[in-house]
């Protein structure tokens, strides 16, 4: 199965041309900028129109419209081949995906760290917005990744960990068990400079 990963489009999704073919298209958050309802529906209209067998997206810290809304509330407006993952998973052609959004409210009340604990051990493709600490998470001289998330990834060892959030840290890293992808297509100046990433699993 071929996966296409992209992240942090911030309303510039329509500028992405000639996307590579894949079986599953994955957007790991920050599709919007101000987090408005209009931005959300503009993204969805574009996302729905792309010719991929399956599509998955999660929320990022800019996607405020999704905060406080249940997964079912969003899922019911999506086509059958499109999945919104919010601390939840889906199995596609025997591959287990799990989505971990990044909402400011969950950072403030601490529930984000509790949700990390509940990522299933059998997760094969982990999709988060936030990177793990020390892996494709550096902006300037600071590592912005999450230590709890790193520990969880080391524990469950998914085949892929797909994320974004830190625009400066676009790239791929590999450990013995896991391939990590920061697919932020915009650079630190919010300019479209990076290309989505393709994986075969």
According to the model, what pLDDT value does residue 116 have?
97
Residue labelled with tokens 């919007």: 32
Report pLDDT for 174.
97
Q: How far apart are CA 194 and CA 146, in angstroms?
A: 23
- Please give the domain boundaries of the chain with CATH numbers for all domains: 2-200 (3.60.21.10)
- Look up tokens 């760290």; give the residue: 113
Write down the pLDDT at residue 107. 86
CB atoms within 10 A of CB 169: 21
Q: Please report the pLDDT score of residue 199 as a whole number.
A: 96
Look at strands 82-84 and 54-57 and give their pairing: parallel
- 48, 79 contact by CB (below 8 A): yes
Instruction: Note whether 3 and 56 are within 8 A (CB).
Output: no
Structure tokens at 77: 């407006």
Q: Give me the residues of the chain with pLDDT under 50, please.
A: none
């Amino acid at each position: 199965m071929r996966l296409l990963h992209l992240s942090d489009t911030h309303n510039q999704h329509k500028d992405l041309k000639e996307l590579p073919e894949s079986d599953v298209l994955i957007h790991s958050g920050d599709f919007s900028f101000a987090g408005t309802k209009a931005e959300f529906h503009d993204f969805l209209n574009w996302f729905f129109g792309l010719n991929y067998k399956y599509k998955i997206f999660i929320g990022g810290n800019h996607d405020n419209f999704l905060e406080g809304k249940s997964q079912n509330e969003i899922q019911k407006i999506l086509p059958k081949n499109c999945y919104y993952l919010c601390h939840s998973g889906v199995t596609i052609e025997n591959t287990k995906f799990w989505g971990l959004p990044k909402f400011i409210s969950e950072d403030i009340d601490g529930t984000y760290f509790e949700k990390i604990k509940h990522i299933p051990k059998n997760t094969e493709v982990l999709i988060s917005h936030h990177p793990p600490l020390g892996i494709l998470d550096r902006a300037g001289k600071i590592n912005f990744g999450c230590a709890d998330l790193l520990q969880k990834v080391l524990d469950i060892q998914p085949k892929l960990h797909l994320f974004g959030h830190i625009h400066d840290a676009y790239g791929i890293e590999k450990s013995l068990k896991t391939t990590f992808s920061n697919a932020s297509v915009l650079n630190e100046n919010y300019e479209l400079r990076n290309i989505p990433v393709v994986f075969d699993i």
